[in-house]
Structure 1
Amino acid sequence: MQFLRKKMLFIILIGIILLVVLIGYSLSDRENMSKPEKIINDTVGWVQSVVHKPVNYVTGFLYNIKEMKNMYQENQILKEKLAEYKGLIYEVQEVKEENEELRKLLDKPDSIRDYRAIDATVIARSPEKWIEQVTINRGEDAGVASNMAVITPEGMIGKVLSTSKHTATVQLLTGFDQFNRISATISRKDSKNIVGLIEEYDKETDSLIFRIIEESDKNLKKGELVVSSGMGGVFPAGLPIGEVKEVVYDQYGLTRTALVKPSADMYEINQVVVVDRGLPNPEKDDTSKKEDKE
């Protein structure tokens, strides 16, 4: 009995040693695997592929259903937005027609909001005057003249400083000083508009200075839109300039100044529109009539 026990222990010990050797051999870095390892790997890979395909198919099917649901919801939202836009287009068209009729009745075909748009592209920008000036590819041949407003879809960026035959230099709002002023206003529905002047650009606050001349409502709020008033005789009315971000008093506490953040991006400017107000000059008209009579 004792001999049999020793024999069993010896066999178990040999088995453990062989198992350890096999484990170490399988874990060692080898270029070629043994046949049993190849058979096991192939079997496991085949089972994984068989299981993976239906699982992947079901997962993809459920994902497609979710995407279709999201697309349906987005489609409904887009249809609602499209309907709103169509309604706005019809309303704007009606307002334009009514406006034209009223002008005809009043015998006033021109408006301070009317202007002719001249499309242009920025072709040069000096590193030394990056936030002060840009050069566009439209000049006197296209009807561009000094002091015409220049805008982007976001709002006003400045005015034409000088022109040549085929190009023009635009003075950006960020390059305005005390010698460049824009007649501006903040429109109010329920009270009198706030009137003032955009006088210059303050680099310290990164803001346009809106000097308030006349106001009936003292509750000037942050975020209110400042637009051109058209009363300066150069720019048409209604061109967005910027939004009020802060209101400050002077040292005596009598007058108020609004710090305005420009609506347009002054750094990324590519396509612009030069605004030709094109209103007739009464003095020239009177002169031409006198010449005709003579």
Structure 2
Amino acid sequence: MNKFFSNRRLVIIIVCLIVSFGLMSVSVVIRNKRSTPPLLQQFGNDIVGLVNRAVAWPVNGVKGSVTSVSDLLNTYQENKRLKSQVQELAQTKVHDQALSQQNKKLKTQLKLNKTLTDYSSVNATVIARTPSSWQDQVIIDKGSAAGIKKNMPVLSGSGLVGRVAEVNRTNSKVELLSNSSESANRFAVQITNKSGQTVNGIITGYNSDKDQIEMGNVTSKTKIEKGDKVSTSGLGGIMPAGLYVGSVSATGHSDYGLSSKITIKPAADISRLSFVTVAIRQAQTTN
């Protein structure tokens, strides 16, 4: 009896499995033939879709916000970098302009040095110029250590601008042509006209408004015209002769009409000195 019931359970299990496989096959065949799933499955799919959309919406929003913040940070960093580049470009431009001006002035000095055939030259930089003595003197960065001595001529650009008045070991004080004080040593100059005739005189004043020097006490009747060349005369034995000073810009008479008054346009811009050259005569050169 027990054996029969045991076989019966086995038969029932086998039949259930066969029916299940059959239903599954039929379901697959029916699903393949239908263009839409059953109503219950549709309802389930719709519910799942709604849930997915509900979950995806905030996730996508957060993702979009993160992307926007990232883009904003990248834009900020790029803007900061571009501003830095613009500042560097402006600094570079200013620096290049300064170098260009300095190079131009140095080239002018080199042209001057080539004309000093009887002199050795020492190039120097103006390191100080006080407002109280702007027209009187400048301080240069070369002194006795570089062979500089008192009364040596100082030139800039194309011509004479002054002479060494005081010498220290590492710097020197230069008295300018424009120094019109009573204590200043007067510069002895001469004018050579178109005919080759010369007129001697001294520098007596300076017109800061027109940046011109004045030559007074000229009693000679030699004809002087605008454009005639002015150079050092060498009289007095302090300043050597033949250093170019400038050209005549105007002629006239003194207040009392007893002598001529000549206005000279300096060869160098005395009001704007950056680089100068001290001319050392070969006989003065020290070993």
Q: TM-score, normalised by structure 1?
A: 0.51
Distance 2:199 2:179 in 1: 25
Q: Does 1:223 align with 2:224?
A: no
Partner of residue 200, structure 1: 205
Partner of residue 244, structure 1: 248
| Cα root mean square deviation, aligned | 2.8
Contact 2:122 2:279 (C-alpha < 8 Å) held by counterparts = yes
Partner of residue 65, structure 1: none
State the secondary structure of the residue aligned to 1:141: helix
| Matched residues, number | 170
Contact 1:183 1:198 (C-alpha < 8 Å) held by counterparts = yes
1:202 offset after TM fit, Å? 3.9
Aligned 1:171-186 pairs, distance under 5 A: 171-178=175-182, 179-186=184-191
Aligned partner (choices 131, 145, 152) of residue 149 of structure 2: 145
Distance 1:175 1:198 in 2: 9
State the secondary structure of the residue aligned to 2:251: strand
Distance 1:145 1:176 in 2: 22
Contact 2:200 2:218 (C-alpha < 8 Å) held by counterparts = yes
State the secondary structure of the residue aligned to 1:198: strand
State the secondary structure of the residue aligned to 2:145: helix
Deviations 1:203-250 (A, max 9, x none): 4664312125463522x1112221111233122222121221221212
Structure 1 runs of 4+ with >6 Å offset: none
1:201 offset after TM fit, Å? 2.2
Contact 2:228 2:248 (C-alpha < 8 Å) held by counterparts = yes
Gaps of 5+ in 1: 1-95, 97-112, 281-294
State the secondary structure of the residue aligned to 1:244: strand
Distance 1:127 1:252 in 2: 33
Partner of residue 125, structure 1: 129
Q: Does 1:276 align with 2:285?
A: no
Contact 1:181 1:200 (C-alpha < 8 Å) held by counterparts = no
Partner of residue 262, structure 1: 266
Distance 1:157 1:191 in 2: 24
Distance 1:126 1:257, change over 3 A: same
Contact 2:213 2:263 (C-alpha < 8 Å) held by counterparts = yes
Q: Does 1:232 align with 2:239?
A: no
Distance 1:157 1:120 in 2: 13
Deviations 1:178-222 (A, max 9, x none): 43211111124534212211233244664312125463522x111
State the secondary structure of the residue aligned to 1:208: strand
State the secondary structure of the residue aligned to 1:248: strand
Contact 2:219 2:258 (C-alpha < 8 Å) held by counterparts = no
Deviations 1:245-285 (A, max 9, x none): 221212342310101122111233222111223547xxxxx
The amino acid across from 2:205 in the alignment is E
Distance 2:253 2:160 in 1: 26
Aligned sequence identity (%): 34
Aligned partner (choices 161, 165, 171) of residue 167 of structure 1: 171
Aligned 1:66-77 pairs, distance under 5 A: none
Greater Rg by CA: 2
State the secondary structure of the residue aligned to 1:223: coil
Deviations 1:115-157 (A, max 9, x none): 3322211222223333332211110111212221100132111
Contact 2:193 2:228 (C-alpha < 8 Å) held by counterparts = no
Partner of residue 187, structure 1: 192
Distance 1:190 1:243, change over 3 A: closer
Gaps of 5+ in 2: 1-114
Aligned 1:34-183 pairs, distance under 5 A: 114-178=118-182, 179-183=184-188
